[in-house]
Structure 1
Amino acid sequence: MGAIAPAVLELQSTLGQTFPEIFDKIFWDKYWDNGTDTRGKPKPKGKWAPRLQASAKNPGSKDPHDNGLALDIFLFKTNWNEWALANELVNVFITNKSIMGWSSVIYDSVTTDDYGGPKLYTGADKHETHIHIEWPRSRGMTSRGFSYQIQDQLDMVAVSWRIGELINPSKHDRPVY
């Protein structure tokens, strides 16, 4: 097991402290594959999972989830309040890309990365259940201290979200492809 990149840990901690009422909760991940039983039959899918997920279970992997370079932030598109919060968080991340050092953010079939954006995300997982944010190893290991620079923006989002101000659909003009 390797180490989760400092940038990933910093964002995970900052979001957990800023939005404890949602990120301290777990959810039922109905898509989680539990493998097979001793007879080779598929086990029922699903497990309870945290809303902020980072891992470093295979540091040699090219998968940013397995080598500690990605954070998944579970906010569901099917829940209007969560979708609105996710869009505001994505906007904060995009506004602060140079400070945070990430290489890619994906949510609701839209991505912004080192090559520009927003643009249509064409991967198999449309990321309608979570924000995916990842760093390249070089920046993930060295990007630190950005939480202090984005905290005021996150606090403003948190206040607006808590009082229900984010529920206005006109505030969330996302690219449609």
Structure 2
Amino acid sequence: MKILYVTDVEGNWDYFLRFIQTVQTSPHTLNALTFTDASHTRLVLQRGYQFVFGGDVGDKGVVNTDRLIRVLLALKHDYPDRVVLIAGNRDVNKMRWTSEFTDVEMDLKTMDPGIKNGPHWLPETTRQSLGIIPYLSKLARNGQDVPITSTDSSSSINYTALDAVNTKWFLVRI
């Protein structure tokens, strides 16, 4: 059995198309992997070949990443014994978001102090610039280094204002 291998496509549809074109035109793999039609939504894997996707399906571009994922999953569905999909480091990093960016993890009141305040081994005056609170405070003040203070005298941090800028922007599709 011959193996066709591609990796690190990272949402680059043109790169993936060039791989398919290379497979179609190479004398060693002539038409081993071809699209069924001009819509490029489904692939045919010829007998005698195994396809391995080595990971990093997407990182740049939502539209092409989704398209690539659909094509790869359809290929795996059609040839479950001859298609291997490996999760790359970028893929695994995206999968972690479902647990690391939950409301509990992102709540500034319960956030791990090492994340919120910066490394404990540095003096407080040094680590303030490393913590998330100063960074979010700056964001909430439109880039100005003005600390956000609460109207409540028991706290110097206005968590409502900080939560407003502590969004999961990278999980929202634009």
TM-score of the aligned structures, taking structure 1 as reference length: 0.24
Q: Which has the higher helix share?
A: 2
Q: Which has the higher strand share?
A: 1
- Greater RCO, CA 8 A, separation 6+: 1
Q: For the pair shown, which has the larger CA radius of gyration, 1 or 2?
A: 2
TM-score of the aligned structures, taking structure 2 as reference length: 0.24
